[in-house]
């Protein structure tokens, strides 16, 4: 390692441990010096340090050596005493404060990055005031009595030549009462070497007088202990010194006075010479010979074995003395003091071996004497000497540590000594690059006193930084600690400085808990100093601290706003983290040729619209080409990469704001940042857009650099031109909440519009904004996931084309919820704000079953009156009707929409089935004038409809047992609503080939016309096949008069019936058929039934208007044979009917009962068919009956239940007397031949043995069509088997 | 008692840090853990420490702060486990045992397919398991 | 606690992964599929290495880590050790497994078998069977890479099939 003397410690020692000269002077002397604004000592000081005073020195050993560096420390006698502690403290505080003031400048700058910190050298990183502070710290313990190097070596007596009788002055000056205590209390030898200096001020005339006095002095005090020094030779006092030697020392010199103004060069030389020979001719020789003398003394008394023993004995003798903390009192005459003096002198004259040997000697003594203070002192010196000798660093450190601990052991008195010792020790370690240990020592000397320990901790932290390898984390930690201490003694600037240092450590890391703390406090402290900008910048870092506790978040936010308010202005912050912008949620909605009536229409999938519109719109490519040829200026790619929007139509942007905190925040005036560039001509446009790009590029750049910029100069960027207008919304976010903000920008002029980003204002004081462009990367990633919405988002550039007509449309009184079957008229209302008219309107509806387009006539007729039957309309027009619809509805040519007058067109709504249904309407229209870029536009409407169950109608059809070609129709109606009451109007069968009539009088089945909520109704009708009426025999049991396809279910039959062949009923019925129809082929044997009912106006519910709600329930394809499907083919050509008595009285006691039956068989087919009837006995009949319920027909079911009961009873009886209750008598099988469309009758007979009710259905009909020669077997089935119809016969026992 | 345990990733990023004190000294504990990383680095990169202890996962007592004792453990994957305790006489065996269990808990936590390597460990199961280990610290030796 | 999974499950899982990625997700982009599979392997290796290096002193150098992979890691995975380890002492290691478990069920048509012998690996390379088989090796490659990189050794791992079911993994450590 380098020469220890050149190490910082070495220099410090050569500076501090040097001979002290006590200066005593008269007031006149001081006066003369003050002319130069300097005190005597200040004047002399620069000349007391010699870099190469080349003086030969000979100490104890005989061979001399030369010393180069030498220094005298001058003190006034009054100063030579232990400084007052309080004063010292004040001094230190002052030092720190001043340092802080100096450091203020660089607090504004950005804290350096950690890498740079690591590369910077100690000297420039360490605050420059540390050495100075340490020095002051060392001085607080100077002139302690146990350390001889602070004891004055010589006394310099200075008297001015103006003093009268100067000789006496000299004598008086050195009188004991004002001498420092050191000399009086016998700590040091009062017989101190003296030097008499006569100071002459040349401004008081020539120096003869002075020389006279000098010679006089020589006689009195001895020739060579006297000297004369002349100053102030320059008369005018305008001497300018280049490198003024005093400025270094006199830091606090006010600029006006300049130092040494009366001292010209001769004076300087004189001063220099005077000091030089003072030290070289007097002090050094004096010390030499004192060393030699003392050394001789010591060797006499102490060296050699005998002395050692003696000394030991002697000390042992002193053992029993009670040891006071700093050991026994040692006078200067005591051998110990002498050794110490010897050691220190040797040290000061660089004879370290000598010094060391003596210190060693001494330390043992003090140790034995338990005078710890002195022992520690000596140990300290030993350590230093070891260091300077640069041998055995272990010993050196050991000694230092030993001294340190001993000082501490003494307690409070030793505290400050310990500190000094520690400082030296630290320096020693530093000089050997043991920074970690050094830091440890710093920590040990950082006492309780906060300010002091703050400085020590800071120094320690730097040690950690300089350690190899650097221990950055500890560096940061201790900086934080010291920062807190600084803060505690409100040294704000230091606190900030240290925290900034710490910040460099924590910045990059993920240790957010610590980082937030640091940022936050720096911020607060800056604010305290009034540097709000930086403060805000720092606290900004911690705003989005979701990981922190709620309380902390509140604290952060509150202080942040306080600071911001204090600044008074609002800040613009790029990427303010509060609230967090949820970029993936960014959604842009704009209308090019597709326009939307409502927001929910937007959210519908594009594909769905496309499928709906494909027949209406010309192919897309054609459209593009149209645009291009109409606007050759605009290059193709422009349209490719950027969306088209229309001037004056808003572009909606949806973006999510997330509040990361648990506390609510309010975000005000959220709006989009956009750029608009006129694109009148291509090149010009590019240039223009380019310029705009640039200008706000660098705007963002300077935002990045400064982090904020003042409010006004950013306002202009949002709405610089009136070329577009942006909307502003306010939102307030609860804790952890995410909201979607709906923002719009409306371009006013054609050109290019670019959405740059979004801005917002956080609780009225901080405006943040964030650019979308920066997030593009993210979006690309998501695009890879293949979301269709993304493409729209991906480019936020729009080409604004000139204003076009845009239809606005809605459906007037569109209900949100209706009851099933509800049929009502709605109005489609279209508006066209612009002047330009539109033409070729077409419309398509997704669910014609629910919503169909009316024709204009119905507009003025009120509903449902328009449905009432005028004349019996023909079957044919129904057919005519159901050919229309299903395709696009084209509005008549004269339907022009323009101006404010709304265009109204009727729509029919019928709730076909219950459940939720969403209806899509899309309206196609073309521009009135062909000059526009867009040829056509689309208006898309979307409505959600909830259909509640109302009446649930089910029909059952079964052949009437009485008549051929006649059927029983059972209608079950259940009112499923909770509150509504319905009024059944009429039942109509669709198509002319069915006649329907009531089976029973109306009031019998349906006393009150109203069907209350939850009420059920079932009634029977007779359904007559009008086509087959060729063969009918009419015995009429029917009451209901109304023949025909409609039957009214109202009491007062005077009211006209509704005509089901009018639109919209027929239209809806058509779609119902299509919907319900399994097979759409016209099957004459199926019937469509329509039940019409009104919701009675009795209860006043709000949605009920003056006209009662009209309901129609359609059930199509009710098939007469539908419940036979499990027995035989859907359409059998054979009908038959069993006729005979129903109830018979018979006396079984006499004989069994014989009953004759007649079966009428009709062959409806036009081929000859052979039929065989097989009757089976009752056992099979019983299971035949039981087998019946397995059929899926309700009608069967409830009938056969009561039958079952009987049957089982019958079977039981049968089981005990094991004969069947009845048998078919006569032929068990009959074969007949039947001509086409002919009827025949077959007699049947059964014998009954016991009373009871019997089901005579246990026979089977086999039929075969015999294909006649003229035509082969058609599609219809050529043979089949039928179970017998049920025929119930009740036989009663007659008395 | 154990005041704080922490898992620190191989980039010295905190993966999991949990303090078990009522007092609000989270910040201090963070600092202590953070500083202990310095010592860990020193221990590991220090060439003159040699012999069997060199590559042992258990690093032993890192440094005693004024009133804490900080132990360290460094896995093969450069993940550090830090244990901060207040009791003064801690048996080495206990600490080793603790770290072994802690490590296995950690391994199970990161084996969760939904855990992103290098991100903080948020699994509640892990937290519960760790607190269980902490509670049982030292008891194993006692009983 | 020791959780064990039937070997057959693992193998069929691997088969499924490969088929799903090669024929399902990235049917026409084999390299992409390979990367995905390798990534899966990476994660697995990453986690396994964490588990299997418990209770074991830290590795002082790369060789130790590689040895660990060859011995303990491999036997944890495949109940056998790597049969042969070669290195060029400049950061490249070749681990040869003479009967790699996940290839033991793979059979290659004899035609490509004899072309796929060592004397001309080029023919082997372009033969379709080789490519199909190679797909099964991205997963173990990923495992090795994941394990090593978790041990702080960034590297690139490739595999080639000399003749089934032997295969060798080449580890190139990124300096």
Residue whose C-alpha is closest to residue A23's, from A84, A79, A70: A79
Q: Which tokens belong to A1247?
A: 């014998």
Q: Bigger pLDDT: A143 or A865? A: A143
Chain B residue at shortest CA distance from C61: B55
On whether residue B142 sits in a domain, the answer given is no
User: How much is the pLDDT for A886?
Assistant: 55
Q: Is the pLDDT of residue A337 over 60?
A: yes
Q: Which of B34, B41, B70, B84 to mutate to test the interface with A (most CBs of A within 10 A)?
A: B34
Domain span holding position B26: 2-135
Same fold, A334-568 and A1134-1293: no
Q: What is the pLDDT of residues A209-252, one digit of tens each?
A: 788 888 888 888 877 788 888 887 777 766 666 667 776 655 55
Beta-carbon separation of B42 and A474 below 8 A: no
Banded model confidence at residue A328, pLDDT cuts 50, 70, 90: low
Residue whose C-alpha is closest to residue A577's, from A768, A441, A727: A768
Q: What is the pLDDT of residues A763-774, one digit of tens each?
A: 777 777 777 764
- Percent of chain A predicted with pLDDT > 90: 0
Q: Is the pLDDT of residue A545 over 80?
A: no
- HSE on the CB side for C98, CA within 13 Å? 3
User: How much is the pLDDT for A595?
Assistant: 81
Architecture (CATH level 2) of domain A4-82+141-289: 3-Layer(aba) Sandwich (3.40)
Q: Is the pLDDT of residue C97 over 50?
A: yes
Instruction: Give me the torsion for CA of A1065, A1071, A1072, A1075, rounded to 10°.
Output: -170
User: How much is the pLDDT for A1177?
Assistant: 65
Beta-carbon separation of C50 and B100 below 8 A: no
Banded model confidence at residue A1205, pLDDT cuts 50, 70, 90: very low
Helix (H) or strand (E) holding C37: helix C30-52
User: How much is the pLDDT for A679?
Assistant: 58
Partners of B10 on chain C (C-beta within 8 Å) are 152
Give the residue-averaged pLDDT of A890-918. Answer: 78
Helix (H) or strand (E) holding A1087: strand A1086-1095
Q: What is the pLDDT of residues A437-477, one digit of tens each?
A: 888 888 888 777 888 888 888 888 888 888 877 888 888 88
> What is each CA distance from A586 to A525, A649, A670, A789, A1001, in whole angstroms?
38, 20, 14, 10, 68
Q: Does B97 touch chain C (CB under 8 A)?
A: no
Give the residue-averaged pLDDT of C17-30. Answer: 79
Number of domains in chain B: 1
pTM: 0.65
Least confident among A55-64, A273-282, A315-324, A605-614: A315-324
DSSP line for A782-812: HHHT--HHHHHHH--EEEEE------EEEEE
Among the partner residues C47, C57, C151, nearest to B111 by beta-carbon distance: C47
Q: Identify whether the C-beta of residue A548 lies closer than 8 Å to the C-beta of residue A556.
A: yes
Helix (H) or strand (E) holding C47: helix C30-52
Chain B residue at shortest CA distance from C48: B111
Q: What is the pLDDT of residues A388-430, one digit of tens each?
A: 887 777 888 888 888 888 888 877 777 778 888 888 888 888 8
Q: Is the pLDDT of residue A327 over 60?
A: no
On whether residue B143 sits in a domain, the answer given is no
DSSP line for A1155-1201: EEEEEEEEE-SSSEEEEEEEE--HHHHHHHHHHGGGSS-HHHHHHHH
Give the residue-averaged pLDDT of A277-291. Answer: 84
Q: Please tell me the distance in Å from B39's CA to the nearest CA on chain A.
A: 8
On whether residue B129 sits in a domain, the answer given is yes
Q: What is the pLDDT of residues A1042-1066, one digit of tens each?
A: 346 777 777 665 566 777 777 777 7
Among the partner residues B12, B14, B45, nearest to A469 by beta-carbon distance: B45
User: How much is the pLDDT for A1295?
Assistant: 66
User: How much is the pLDDT for A634?
Assistant: 43
Least confident among A301-315, A935-949, A983-997, C89-103: A301-315
> What is each CA distance from A631 to A638, A676, A984, in whole angstroms?
12, 20, 63
Beta-carbon separation of B57 and C43 below 8 A: no
Beta-carbon separation of C57 and B10 below 8 A: no
User: How much is the pLDDT for A357?
Assistant: 84
Cβ atoms within 10 Å, residue A413: 12
User: How much is the pLDDT for B49?
Assistant: 55
CATH of the domain at B100: 3.30.450.70
Q: What is the pLDDT of residues A847-863, one digit of tens each?
A: 888 888 877 766 666 66
Q: What is the pLDDT of residues B56-98, one digit of tens each?
A: 777 777 777 677 888 888 888 888 888 888 877 778 888 888 8
Q: Identify whether the C-beta of residue A458 lies closer than 8 Å to the C-beta of residue A500.
A: no
Give the residue-averaged pLDDT of A275-279. Answer: 83
Could you tell me which chains touch chain C, where touching means 3 or more CB pairs under 8 A?
B
Banded model confidence at residue A1249, pLDDT cuts 50, 70, 90: confident
User: How much is the pLDDT for A629?
Assistant: 43
Least confident among A376-380, A797-801, A868-872, C169-173: A868-872
In chain B, count H helices and then E strands: 4, 5
Q: Does A476 touch chain B (CB under 8 A)?
A: yes
Give the residue-averaged pLDDT of A872-898. Answer: 56
Least confident among A316-330, A501-515, A537-551: A316-330
User: How much is the pLDDT for A1098?
Assistant: 46
Banded model confidence at residue A675, pLDDT cuts 50, 70, 90: confident
Q: Identify whether the C-beta of residue A294 lies closer than 8 Å to the C-beta of residue A341.
A: yes
User: How much is the pLDDT for A859?
Assistant: 65
Helix (H) or strand (E) holding A601: helix A599-603
Q: What is the Cα–Cα distance from A552 to A565, expressed in whole angstroms?
A: 20
Banded model confidence at residue A1118, pLDDT cuts 50, 70, 90: low
- Percent of chain B predicted with pLDDT > 90: 0
- Helices (DSSP H) in A53-164: which residue ranges? 85-103, 114-119, 122-125, 129-139
Beta-carbon separation of C152 and B103 below 8 A: no
Q: Identify whether the C-beta of residue A532 lies closer than 8 Å to the C-beta of residue A526.
A: yes
Q: Is the pLDDT of residue A988 over 70?
A: yes
- HSE on the CB side for B133, CA within 13 Å? 24
Beta-carbon separation of B42 and A477 below 8 A: no
Residue whose C-alpha is closest to residue A789's, from A590, A950, A576, A571: A590
Beta bridge partners of A732: A666
DSSP SS3 for A1097: coil
Beta-carbon separation of B34 and A471 below 8 A: no
Give the residue-averaged pLDDT of C46-56. Answer: 85
Chain A residue at shortest CA distance from B118: A510
User: How much is the pLDDT for B54?
Assistant: 64
φ, ψ for residue A1291 (rounded to 5)?
-115, 125
Could you tell me which chains touch chain A, where touching means 3 or more CB pairs under 8 A?
B
On whether residue B140 sits in a domain, the answer given is no
- Average confidence score pLDDT of chain A: 72
Banded model confidence at residue A254, pLDDT cuts 50, 70, 90: low
Residue whose C-alpha is closest to residue A792's, from A641, A635, A598: A641
Chain A residue at shortest CA distance from B46: A469
Q: Bigger pLDDT: A708 or A463? A: A463
CATH number listed for the domain at residues A334-568: 1.25.40.10
Beta-carbon separation of B35 and A469 below 8 A: no
Q: Is the pLDDT of residue A1212 over 50?
A: no
- Average confidence score pLDDT of chain C: 78
Q: What is the pLDDT of residues A67-112, one digit of tens each?
A: 888 888 888 877 777 777 788 788 888 888 877 777 666 666 666 6
Q: Does B103 touch chain C (CB under 8 A)?
A: yes
Instruction: Give me the torsion for CA of A454, A460, A462, A466, rounded to 10°.
Output: 180
Among the partner residues B10, B56, B103, nearest to C54 by beta-carbon distance: B103
What residue ranges define each of the domains in chain C, with the CATH number in brackets? 7-173 (3.30.1380.20)
Q: Identify whether the C-beta of residue C5 lies closer than 8 Å to the C-beta of residue C103.
A: no
CATH number listed for the domain at residues A1134-1293: 2.60.40.10
User: How much is the pLDDT for A1269?
Assistant: 55
Could you state, in order of their start, the residue ranges of all structural domains in chain A? Answer: 4-82+141-289, 334-568, 580-591+649-801, 949-1126, 1134-1293
Cβ atoms within 10 Å, residue B43: 16
Helix (H) or strand (E) holding A1023: strand A1016-1025
Q: What is the Cα–Cα distance from A116 to A112, expressed in whole angstroms?
A: 7
User: How much is the pLDDT for A1102?
Assistant: 42
Tell me the torsion sign for CA atoms A240, A242, A247, A249: negative
Tell how strand A1134-1139 and strand A1110-1119 pair up: unpaired
Q: What is the Cα–Cα distance from A1243 to A1233, expressed in whole angstroms?
A: 15
Q: Is the pLDDT of residue A1207 over 50?
A: no
User: How much is the pLDDT for A699?
Assistant: 39
Q: Does B30 touch chain A (CB under 8 A)?
A: yes
Least confident among A154-158, A632-636, A1054-1058: A632-636
Q: Identify whether the C-beta of residue A931 lies closer than 8 Å to the C-beta of residue A801.
A: no
Among the partner residues B76, B104, B117, nearest to C59 by beta-carbon distance: B76
Q: What is the Cα–Cα distance from C139 to C103, expressed in whole angstroms?
A: 12
Q: What is the Cα–Cα distance from A542 to A561, expressed in whole angstroms?
A: 13
Q: Is the pLDDT of residue A137 over 50?
A: yes
Q: What is the pLDDT of residues C134-175, one digit of tens each?
A: 788 888 889 988 888 888 888 888 888 877 778 888 888 887
Q: What is the pLDDT of residues B134-143, one digit of tens each?
A: 888 766 544 3
Q: Please tell me the distance in Å from B27's CA to the nearest CA on chain C.
A: 30
Sheet strands (E) in A170-213? 193-201
Least confident among A37-51, A267-281, A296-310, B23-37: A296-310
């Amino acid at each position: 390692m380098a020469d220890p003397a050149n190490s910082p410690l070495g220099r410090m020692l050569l500076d501090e441990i040097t001979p002290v000269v006590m200066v005593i002077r008269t007031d006149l002397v001081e006066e003369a010096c003050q002319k130069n604004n300097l005190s005597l000592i200040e004047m002399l000081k620069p000349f007391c340090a010699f870099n190469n005073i080349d003086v030969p020195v000979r100490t104890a050993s005989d061979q001399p050596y030369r010393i180069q560096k030498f220094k005298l420390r001058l003190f006034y006698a009054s100063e030579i005493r232990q400084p007052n502690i309080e004063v010292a403290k004040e001094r230190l505080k002052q030092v720190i404060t001043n340092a802080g003031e100096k450091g203020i400048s660089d607090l504004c700058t950005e804290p350096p990055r950690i890498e740079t910190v690591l590369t910077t050298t100690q000297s420039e990183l360490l605050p420059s005031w540390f050495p100075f502070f340490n020095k002051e710290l060392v001085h607080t313990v100077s002139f302690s009595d146990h350390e001889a190097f602070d004891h004055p070596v010589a006394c310099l007596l200075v008297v001015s030549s103006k003093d009268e009788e100067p000789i006496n002055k000299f004598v008086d000056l050195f009188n004991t009462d004002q001498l420092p205590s050191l000399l009086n209390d016998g700590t040091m030898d009062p017989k101190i070497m003296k030097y008499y200096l006569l100071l002459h001020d040349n401004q008081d005339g020539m120096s003869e007088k002075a020389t006279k006095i000098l010679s006089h002095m020589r006689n009195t005090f001895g020739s060579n202990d006297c000297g004369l020094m002349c100053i102030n030779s320059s008369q005018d006092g305008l001497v300018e010194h280049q490198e003024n030697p005093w400025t270094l020392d006199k830091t606090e010199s006010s600029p006006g006075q300049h130092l040494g103004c009366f001292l010209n060069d001769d004076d300087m030389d004189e001063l220099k010479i005077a000091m030089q020979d003072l030290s070289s001719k007097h002090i050094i020789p004096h010390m030499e010979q004192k060393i030699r003398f003392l050394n001789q003394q010591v060797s006499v008394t102490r060296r050699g074995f005998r002395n050692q023993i003696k000394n030991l004995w002697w000390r042992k003798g002193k053992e029993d003395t009670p040891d006071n903390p700093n050991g026994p009192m040692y006078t200067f005459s005591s051998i110990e003091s002498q050794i110490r003096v010897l050691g220190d002198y040797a040290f000061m004259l660089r004879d370290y071996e000598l010094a060391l040997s003596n210190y060693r000697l001494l330390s043992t003594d003090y140790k034995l004497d338990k005078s710890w203070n002195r022992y520690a002192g000596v140990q300290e010196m030993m350590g230093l000497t070891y260091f300077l000798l640069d041998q055995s660093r272990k010993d050196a450190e050991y000694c230092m540590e030993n001294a340190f601990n001993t000082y501490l052991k003494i307690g409070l008195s030793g505290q400050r000594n310990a500190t000094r010792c520690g400082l030296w020790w630290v320096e020693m370690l530093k000089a050997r690059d043991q920074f970690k240990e050094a830091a440890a020592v710093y920590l040990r000397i950082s006492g309780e006193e906060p300010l002091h320990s703050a400085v020590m901790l800071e120094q320690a932290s730097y040690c950690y930084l300089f350690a190899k390898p650097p221990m950055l984390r500890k560096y940061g930690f201790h900086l934080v600690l010291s920062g807190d201490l600084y803060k505690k003694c409100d040294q704000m600037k230091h606190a900030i400085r240290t925290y900034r240092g710490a910040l460099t450590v924590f910045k990059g890391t993920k240790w957010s808990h610590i980082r937030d703390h640091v940022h936050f406090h720096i911020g607060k402290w800056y604010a305290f100093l009034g540097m709000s900008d930086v403060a805000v910048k720092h606290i900004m870092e911690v705003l989005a601290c979701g990981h922190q506790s709620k309380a902390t978040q509140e604290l952060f936010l509150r202080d942040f706003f306080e600071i911001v308010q204090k600044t008074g202005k609002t800040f613009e912050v790029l990427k303010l983290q509060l609230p967090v912008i949820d970029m993936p949620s960014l959604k842009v909605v704009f209308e090019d040729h597709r326009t939307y009536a409502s927001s929910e229409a937007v959210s519908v999938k594009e594909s769905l619209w496309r499928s709906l519109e494909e027949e209406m719109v010309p192919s897309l490519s054609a459209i593009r080409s149209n645009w291009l040829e109409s606007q050759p200026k605009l290059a193709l790619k422009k349209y490719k990469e950027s969306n088209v929007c229309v001037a004056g139509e808003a572009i909606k942007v949806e973006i999510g704001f997330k509040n990361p905190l648990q506390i609510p925040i309010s975000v005000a005036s959220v709006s989009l940042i956009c750029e608009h560039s006129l694109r009148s001509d291509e090149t010009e446009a590019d240039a223009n857009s380019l310029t705009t790009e640039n200008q706000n590029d660098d705007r963002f750049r300077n935002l990045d650099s400064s982090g904020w910029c003042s409010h006004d100069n950013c306002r202009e960027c949002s709405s610089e031109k009136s070329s577009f207008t942006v909307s502003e919304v306010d939102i307030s976010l609860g804790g952890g909440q995410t909201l979607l903000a709906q923002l719009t920008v409306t371009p006013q002029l054609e050109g290019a519009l670019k959405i740059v980003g979004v801005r917002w204002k956080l609780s009225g004081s901080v405006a943040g904004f964030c650019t979308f462009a920066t997030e593009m990367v993210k979006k690309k990633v998501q695009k890879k996931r293949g979301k269709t919405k993304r493409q729209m988002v991906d480019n936020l550039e729009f080409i604004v084309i000139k204003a076009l007509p845009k239809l606005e449309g809605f459906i007037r009184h569109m209900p949100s919820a209706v009851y099933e079957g509800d049929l009502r008229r709605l109005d489609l209302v279209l508006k066209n704000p612009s002047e330009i008219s539109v033409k070729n309107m077409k419309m398509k509806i997704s669910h014609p079953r629910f919503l169909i387009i009316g024709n204009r006539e119905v507009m003025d007729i009120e509903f449902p009156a328009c449905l009432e039957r005028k004349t019996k309309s023909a079957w044919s027009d129904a057919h005519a009707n159901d050919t229309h619809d299903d395709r696009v509805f084209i509005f008549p040519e004269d339907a022009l929409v323009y101006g404010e007058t709304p265009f109204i067109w009727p729509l029919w709504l019928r709730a076909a089935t219950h459940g939720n249904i969403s209806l899509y309407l899309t309206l196609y229209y073309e521009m009135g004038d062909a000059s526009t870029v867009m040829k056509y536009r689309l208006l898309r409407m979307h409505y959600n409809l909830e259909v509640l169950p109302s009446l649930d109608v089910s029909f059952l059809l079964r052949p009437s047992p009485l008549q051929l070609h006649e059927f029983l129709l059972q209608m079950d109606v259940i009112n499923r609503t909770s509150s509504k009451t319905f009024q059944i109007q009429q039942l109509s069968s669709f198509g002319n080939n069915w006649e329907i009539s009531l089976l029973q009088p109306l009031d019998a089945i349906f006393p009150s016309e109203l069907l209350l909520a939850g009420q059920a109704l079932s009634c029977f009708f007779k359904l007559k096949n009008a086509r087959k009426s060729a063969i009918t025999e009419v015995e009429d049991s029917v009451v209901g008069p109304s023949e025909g396809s409609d039957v009214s279910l109202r009491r007062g039959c005077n009211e006209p019936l509704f005509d089901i062949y009018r639109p919209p009923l027929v239209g809806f019925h058509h779609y119902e058929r299509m919907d319900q129809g399994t097979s759409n082929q016209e099957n004459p044997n199926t019937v469509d039934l329509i039940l019409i009912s009104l919701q009675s106006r009795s209860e006043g519910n709000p949605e009920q208007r003056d006209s009662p709600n009209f309901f129609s329930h359609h059930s199509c394809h009710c098939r007469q044979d539908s419940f036979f499907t499990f027995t035989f083919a859907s359409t059998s050509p054979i009908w038959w009917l069993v006729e005979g008595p129903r109830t018979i009285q018979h006396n079984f006691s006499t004989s069994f009962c014989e009953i004759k039956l007649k079966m009428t068989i009709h062959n409806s087919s036009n081929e000859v068919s052979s039929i065989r009837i097989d009757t089976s006995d009752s056992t099979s009949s019983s299971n035949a009956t039981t087998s019946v319920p397995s059929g899926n027909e309700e009608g069967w079911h409830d009938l056969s239940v009561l039958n079952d009961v009987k049957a089982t009873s019958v079977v039981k009886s049968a089981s005990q007397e094991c004969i069947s209750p009845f048998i078919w008598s006569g032929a068990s099988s009959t074969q007949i031949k039947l001509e086409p469309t002919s009827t025949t009758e077959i007699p049947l007979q059964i014998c009954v043995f016991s009373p009871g009710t019997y089901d005579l259905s246990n026979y089977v009909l086999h039929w075969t069509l015999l294909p006649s020669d003229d035509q082969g077997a058609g599609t219809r089935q050529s043979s089949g088997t039928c179970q017998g119809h049920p025929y119930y016969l009740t036989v009663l026992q007659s008395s | 008692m154990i005041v704080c345990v922490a898992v620190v990733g191989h980039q010295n990023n905190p993966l999991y840090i949990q303090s078990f004190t009522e007092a609000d000294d989270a910040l201090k504990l963070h600092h202590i853990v953070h500083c202990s990383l310095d010592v860990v680095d020193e221990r590991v990169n220090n060439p003159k420490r040699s012999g069997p202890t060199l590559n042992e996962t258990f690093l032993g007592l890192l440094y005693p702060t004024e009133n804490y004792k900080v132990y360290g453990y460094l896995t093969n994957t450069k993940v550090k486990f830090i244990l901060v305790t207040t009791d003064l006489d801690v048996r080495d065996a206990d600490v080793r045992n603790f770290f072994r269990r802690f490590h296995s808990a950690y391994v199970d936590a990161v084996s969760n397919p939904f855990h992103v390597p290098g991100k903080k460990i948020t699994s509640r199961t892990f937290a519960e398991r760790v607190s269980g280990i902490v509670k049982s610290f030292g008891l194993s030796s006692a009983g | 606690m020791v959780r064990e999974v039937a070997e057959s499950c693992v193998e069929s899982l691997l088969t499924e992964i490969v088929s799903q990625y090669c024929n399902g997700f990235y049917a026409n982009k084999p390299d992409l599929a390979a990367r995905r599979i390798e990534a899966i392997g990476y994660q697995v290796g990453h986690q396994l290495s964490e588990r299997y290096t418990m209770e074991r002193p830290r590795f002082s150098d790369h060789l130790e880590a590689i040895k660990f992979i060859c011995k303990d890691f491999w036997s944890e995975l495949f109940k056998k050790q790597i049969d042969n380890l070669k290195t060029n002492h400049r950061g490249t290691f070749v681990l040869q497994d003479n009967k790699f478990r996940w290839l033991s069920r793979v059979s290659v048509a004899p035609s490509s078998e004899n072309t796929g012998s060592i004397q001309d690996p080029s023919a082997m390379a372009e033969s379709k069977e080789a490519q199909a088989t190679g797909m099964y090796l991205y997963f173990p490659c990923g495992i090795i890479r994941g394990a090593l990189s978790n041990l702080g050794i960034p590297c690139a791992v490739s595999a080639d099939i000399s003749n089934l079911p032997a295969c060798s993994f080449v580890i190139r450590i990124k300096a």
